[in-house]
Amino acid sequence: GENVEQHPSTLSVQEGDSAVIKCTYSDSASNYFPWYKQELGKGPQLIIDIRSNVGEKKDQRIAVTLNKTAKHFSLHITETQPEDSAVYFCAASISHTGNQFYFGTGTSLTVIP
Amino acid sequence: GAGVSQSPSNKVTEKGKDVELRCDPISGHTALYWYRQRLGQGLEFLIYFQGNSAPDKSGLPSDRFSAERTGESVSTLTIQRTQQEDSAVYLCASSSGPAPGDLYFGPGTRLLVL
């Protein structure tokens, strides 16, 4: 089955700096890659996603890149703000297996004011 | 509109007791998932329902765990004879499925087994 690895497990950045979180996946059949933000005491919320037919997607300060050949994808947050502090999860999905999502182990991001 | 809701929000039980967790998905969402999240860890897939198809139970860790879903509405996750290692946050999510799409998570049920 699919195996998703996520690095780093913790990340601290100064407010205004950029943060990058990287994930790798094992199954080349994966075709959908969402990123989730989980704030303390809440369920994860989708913040951005990318499908395998594109290499990059941006939404304001957040961007995701996908390298299908290397089987890795990354989340980039620019001009970080304290409210960006949360745990971020990447995931990979293989549609033909019934839409099961395989999650990374999470990155705890702290933005220092 | 209403999101995914879960109840109870917190549950404390004694080892050996049975517990039942409830999930109300977003109306019209045909896909429903249960995940387990242990403290400081990632999301562990438990079970997946898609419409009237047979559920994917491949993530259930033991026969003490079971789940049901009535049509495309409420789902219940039952843990029998709870053990301390069952302590975790149990998250429910729904999506418009079956093609890959947004997962909408509920706030979770925090289960503590003493």
Taking contacts as CB-CB distances below 8 angstroms, the residues of chain B near A43 are 4, 91, 93, 105-108
* Cis peptide bond N-terminal to B55, omega within 30: no
CA neighbor of B87 nearest in space, from B5, B11, B4: B11
B3: Cβ–Cβ under 8 A, 6 or more apart, which residues? B26, B104, B106
Taking contacts as CB-CB distances below 8 angstroms, the residues of chain B near A93 are 100
CA angle A93, A97, A103 (to 5 degrees): 30
Taking contacts as CB-CB distances below 8 angstroms, the residues of chain A near B103 are 34, 36, 44, 46, 101
Q: Is pLDDT above 60 for A2?
A: yes
d(CA A2, CA B26): 27
Lookup: tokens for A45 = 């919320």
| Segment among A18-27, B60-69, B99-108 with least mean pLDDT | B99-108
d(CA A81, CA A70): 31
> Which of B43, B45, B90, B94 should one mutate to test binding to chain A, selecting the residue with the greatest count of A CBs within 10 A?
B43
What pLDDT is recorded for position B14?
97
> Could you tell me how far CA B90 lies from the centroid of its own chain?
6
Closest in A32, A46, A100 to B45, CB measured: A100
**Token pair 């699919």 is at which residue?**
A2
- How close is the nearest chain B Cα to the Cα of A41, in Å? 7
**pLDDT tens, A3-26?**
899 999 999 999 999 999 999 999
Q: Give residue B42's pLDDT band: very low, low, confident or very high (50, 70, 90).
A: confident
**pLDDT tens, A22-73?**
999 999 989 889 999 999 888 999 999 998 888 999 999 999 999 999 999 9
Q: Is pLDDT above 60 for B103?
A: yes
> Which of B103, B104, B110 should one mutate to test binding to chain A, selecting the residue with the greatest count of A CBs within 10 A?
B103
What pLDDT is recorded for position B37?
92
Burial letters B83-114, b for 16+ CB under 10 A, else e: eeebbbbbbbbbbebbebbebbbbbbbbbebe
d(CA A37, CA A20): 14
Q: How many CB atoms lie within 10 A of CB A3?
A: 11
What pLDDT is recorded for position B34?
96
* Cis peptide bond N-terminal to B98, omega within 30: yes
